[in-house]
Amino acid sequence: MRKPRIAILGATGVVGREITKISEELNIEYESIKFLSSAKSAGSKINFKEQEYVVEEAKPEVFDDVDIVMASAGGSTSKLFAPEIVKRGGMIIDNSSAYRMEKDVPLVIAGVNDEDLKWHSGIVANPNCSTSQLMLVLEPLKKFGIKRLIVSTYQSVSGAGLAAMNELRDDTKARLEGKPFENKCFKKPISFNIIPQIDVFCENGYTKEEMKVVNETRKILHLSDDVKISCTAARVPVFRGHSEAVDIEFEENAGMVTPAEVRSILENAYGVKVIDNPDNFEYPTTRDADGVDPVFVGRIRQNLAFDNGISLWCVADNLRIGAALNTVRICKKVTEMGLYRGA
Ligand SMILES: NC(=O)c1ccc[n+]([C@@H]2O[C@H](COP(=O)([O-])OP(=O)(O)OC[C@H]3O[C@@H](n4cnc5c(N)ncnc54)[C@H](OP(=O)(O)O)[C@@H]3O)[C@@H](O)[C@H]2O)c1
């Protein structure tokens, strides 16, 4: 068994940079590693484990000697290269939405449904950022039987990439200085504003982002179509970290699920940290999650609209658990489980 030969595709982007950083932090095993981008950033330099690497332009032949590709270069790039990677015997852990709902592609949150990795046939998909943080919270509560789920997201601009982060900074500066500003990434000005649209609208009036939360949650947690799920996703003028208000209705036969019970379960759950002492103004805010791994949960309370329901607030770093951290964790799992070529 040899260690995997790794490539990071989209290494110069917001998520790719984070993947690089976390790969170093989590000490991934590799025989070789390369960093790939489009022609635009090819030739630039990346430091990894005190060694300098030159970023290469992604072309089919660069995947000849690669076993695992961690990709965050957009859906069309994944569509272009995934078949080339698979054809060459490699596998891709993809951050884009291109393959998430394909039947033969496992959609995985490491630590939640690792077993699904066993049936991959070259492509593993990483869920949408707002779905990802929610899964670590819902998985331990699934045993009560989820009947209905309502999620409202407050998503930071880094979820839309580097250009969107620059737009928030430049728009804010222009507004404070009373200068005109033309928004390009967002349909409305993002500074001092909240935009109730992420991604395009679907025929049913929901946005594609909202439907990702609905469909991906069902796929990852293996929930039946009888479980009703609704989501409203809003973009907020925050650089990093997504927040979510979550209302969960449980099956009647689960018995009354209490906030104390949920608090105790989540305190011991993988990847979750509970901060929940409102009397002392202790609850998680977006800033608490900046640059760290846990999904923070607070404001756990009995839901007043459901007969047997819980409401809670959950916050996480969208670039880590929502994308890069999960990708690197999956890469480690695939390596440990020997699920790559050459293992
Ligand atoms: N941001 C998040 O919170 C988040 C969360 C989950 C998933 N995602 C997904 O991750 C992906 C990347 O997002 P991001 O926010 O990191 O975007 P980004 O900052 O715009 O970075 C895009 C990266 O992809 C590369 N790229 C673009 N076209 C390419 C091509 N044809 N061939 C090779 N490389 C190409 C870019 O290289 P150049 O530098 O050469 O342009 C850059 O490295 C998207 O699919 C996004 O939906 C993002």
Domain residue spans in the chain?
5-127+323-336, 131-318
pLDDT attached to residue 50:
95
User: Which residues make Cβ contacts (< 8 Å) with residue 222, sequence separation at least 6?
Assistant: 113
Structure tokens at 231: 């989501």
- The angle subtended at Cα 81 by Cα 78 and Cα 87, nearest 5°, is 130
Task: For residue 219, give Cα distances in angstroms to 70, 143, 224, 233.
Answer: 21, 16, 9, 19
Quick one: the chain helix, strand, coil %, rounded to 5?
Answer: 35, 25, 40
Exposure class string for 41-61: b at 16+ Cβ within 10 A, else e: bbeeebebeeeebebbebeee
Query: Distance, CA 73 to ligand 1 centroid (Å)?
Result: 3
Mutate to test the pocket of ligand 1, among 8, 9, 14, 328 (most ligand atoms within 8 A of CB): 14
| Residue 129 annotated as catalytic | yes
pLDDT attached to residue 342:
83
| Residue 120 annotated as catalytic | no
Other Cβ atoms less than 10 A from the Cβ of 301: the count is 16
Fold of 131-318: Dihydrodipicolinate Reductase; domain 2 (3.30.360)
Structure tokens at 169: 């900074």
Q: Using CA atoms, how far apart are residues 215 and 130, in angstroms rounded to an integer?
A: 12
Domain 5-127+323-336 homologous superfamily, CATH = NAD(P)-binding Rossmann-like Domain (3.40.50.720)
Q: Using CA atoms, how far apart are residues 241 and 190, in angstroms rounded to an integer?
A: 16
pLDDT attached to residue 67:
98
Atom of ligand 1 nearest to the CA of 41: 40
User: Which residues make Cβ contacts (< 8 Å) with residue 127, sequence separation at least 6?
Assistant: 100, 107, 108, 109, 135, 212, 216, 220, 326
Q: Using CA atoms, how far apart are residues 279 and 292, in angstroms rounded to an integer?
A: 25
User: Which residues make Cβ contacts (< 8 Å) with residue 252, sequence separation at least 6?
Assistant: 307, 308
pLDDT attached to residue 125:
97
> Active-site residue among 120, 231, 242, 314?
242
pLDDT attached to residue 288:
96
Q: What sign does the dihedral 20-25-29-32 (CA atoms) show?
A: positive
Query: Distance, CA 96 to ligand 1 centroid (Å)?
Result: 8
The tens-digit pLDDT sequence of the chain (343 residues) is 899 999 999 999 999 999 999 999 999 999 999 999 999 999 999 999 999 999 999 999 999 999 999 999 999 999 999 999 999 999 999 999 999 999 999 999 999 999 999 999 999 999 999 999 999 999 999 999 999 999 999 999 999 999 999 999 999 999 999 999 999 999 999 999 999 999 999 999 999 999 999 999 999 999 999 999 999 999 999 999 999 999 999 999 888 999 999 999 999 999 999 999 999 999 999 999 999 999 999 999 999 999 999 999 999 999 999 899 999 999 999 999 999 998 8
Q: Determine contact, residues 233/210, Cβ cutoff 8 Å.
A: yes
pLDDT attached to residue 35:
98
Residue in this structure with the two tokens 């935009």, named with its chain if needed: 195
Q: Is there a common fold for 5-127+323-336 and 131-318?
A: no
